[in-house]
Structure 1
Amino acid sequence: MPKKSLANLTDLAGKKVVIRVDFNVPQDKDGTITNDRRIRGALPTIQYVLEKGGSAILISHLGRPTGDAEADKPFRMDRVATRLGELLGKPVQKSDEVVGPISAEKVAALKPGEVLLLENVRFHPDEQNKKHDGTFAKTLASYGDVYVNDAFGTCHRKDVSMLALPEAMKGKPRVVGFLVAKELDILANLLGTPKRPMVGLLGGGKVSDKIGFIKAMLARVDQVLVGGAMTYTFLKAQGIEIGSSRCEADKLDLARELLELGKGKIVLPVDHLIADKVAADATTEVSDGQVPAGKFGLDIGPKTIQLYSDIIAKAGTVVWNGPMGKFEDEPFAKGTKSIGEAMAANQNAVTVVGGGETAEAVEQFGLDSQMTHVSTGGGAFLEYVEGTPFAALDQIDDQ
Structure 2
Amino acid sequence: MLECKSLVDINFKDKVAIVRVDFNVPLKNNLKISDTTRIDNGVKSIKYVLKNKGKCVIMSHLGRPKGKGYEKKFSLENIISYLEKIFKIKIPLIRNYYSYDFSIEKYLEKNDIILLENLRFYPEEKSNNKNFAKTLASFADVYINDAFGTCHRSHASTNSIINHIKESCVGLLVDKELKNINQLFYNNNPPFTAILGGSKVSDKIGVIEKLIKVVDNILIGGAMANTFIRYLGGNIGNSIYEKDKLGIAGKLLNQAKEKKVNILLPIDFVCSNSINKIDKTIISNSFSVPAKLSGYDIGDETIKSFTSIIAKSKTIIWNGPLGVFEVNEFSEGTFKVADAISKSTINGAYSLVGGGDSVAAINKNNNYKNISFISTGGGALLEYIAKGSLPSLKLLKL
TM-score, normalised via structure 2 length = 0.91
1:268 matched residue in structure 2: 265
- Cα 1:98–1:333 change in 2 (3 A) is farther
What percent of counterpart residues are identical? 38
CA shift for structure 1 position 159: 0.9
Deviations 1:26-52 (A, max 9, x none): 345665544332212202112222222
Letter in 1 for 2:320: G
Deviations 1:95-137 (A, max 9, x none): 12343456625543343xx32110111222322225x3x3322
2:20 matched residue in structure 1: 20
1:94 matched residue in structure 2: 93
1:2 matched residue in structure 2: 3
Deviations 1:315-364 (A, max 9, x none): 11101111011111122111111111111101211100122321222122
1:244 matched residue in structure 2: 238
Alignment match of 2:275 (pick from 255, 278, 286): 278
2:248 matched residue in structure 1: 254
**In the alignment, structure 1 residue 185 sits paired with structure 2 residue 185:** no
CA shift for structure 1 position 151: 0.7
* C-alpha distance in 1 between matches for 2:48 and 2:135: 25
CA shift for structure 1 position 149: 0.8
* C-alpha distance in 2 between matches for 1:215 and 1:91: 49
CA shift for structure 1 position 182: 0.5
1:311 matched residue in structure 2: 309
- The correspondence of residues 1-399 of structure 1 with structure 2, limited to 5 A, is 2-9=3-10, 11-27=11-27, 31-69=31-69, 72-100=71-99, 101=101, 104=104, 107-111=107-111, 114-130=112-128, 132=129, 134-170=130-166, 172=167, 174-263=168-257, 264-279=261-276, 281-289=278-286, 290-346=288-344, 347=346, 348-396=348-396, 398=398
1:218–1:265 CA contact under 8 A, matched in 2? no
2:133–2:160 CA contact under 8 A, matched in 1? yes
TM-score, normalised via structure 1 length = 0.91
* C-alpha distance in 2 between matches for 1:117 and 1:177: 17
* C-alpha distance in 2 between matches for 1:308 and 1:337: 12
Deviations 1:293-314 (A, max 9, x none): 2112111111111111111111
* C-alpha distance in 2 between matches for 1:293 and 1:29: 39
Letter in 1 for 2:160: A
Q: What is the RMSD computed on CA atoms of the aligned residues?
A: 2.1
Report the number of matched residues: 390
- Cα 1:397–1:387 change in 2 (3 A) is closer
Report the more deviating stretch, 236-245 or 176-185: 236-245
Letter in 1 for 2:337: I
- Cα 1:397–1:110 change in 2 (3 A) is farther
- Cα 1:254–1:31 change in 2 (3 A) is farther
Unaligned runs of 5+ in 1: none
CA shift for structure 1 position 185: 0.3
1:340–1:367 CA contact under 8 A, matched in 2? yes
* C-alpha distance in 2 between matches for 1:359 and 1:75: 23
Runs of 4+ in 1 over 6 A off after TM superposition: none
Letter in 2 for 1:321: N
* C-alpha distance in 2 between matches for 1:68 and 1:97: 13
